[in-house]
Amino acid sequence: MTDSTSPAPNDSNTSVAELKKLVDDFVGQRDWHQFHSPKNLAMALAVEAAELMEHFQWIEVADSREVANHPEKLAAAAEEIADVLSYTLAIANSLGVDLSETIHAKMVKNAQKYPADSFRGRHGGE
């Protein structure tokens, strides 16, 4: 995919479209698009989100921040985050959703729902 002179991929030099293609190629090479309906992918995404959560389920909120300083635990959590992202990209692929456009639009909506001045320091959720 990259020749020896390409820089290694990182978040600054990689577009969302490149990650979508990475996932789509993987799926296509295995003829897995037949399983990749939005229904099945939404389930798979929720399963991966739960696997990520499992790393934090019995620990205190403050201790979960410490995972960033523990290379082995961090690598394990990062891998689950990658799995969540893979299925997020796959479901966007399956429905033809432009993620960057959608997230920008959603952030505008969120900013109206949670104006910075009235929600500063107050969480918005239930």
Residues 38-77 binding its own copies (CB under 8 A) are 38-40, 42-47, 49-62, 64-65, 67-68, 74, 77
Choose which of 5, 107, 112, 113 interacts with its own copies (CB under 8 A): 107
Longest dimension (CA), the chain: 51
> Would you say 64 and 73 are in contact if contact means Cβ atoms under 8 Å apart?
no
Distance of alpha carbon 18 from alpha carbon 62, whole angstroms: 35
Which of 3, 6, 24, 106 is in the footprint of its own copies by CB under 8 A?
A: 106
Q: Residue 57 — φ and ψ, nearest 5°?
A: -70, -30
Residues 6-45 that bind its own copies (CB under 8 A): 8-20, 22-23, 26, 29-32, 34-35, 37-40, 42-45
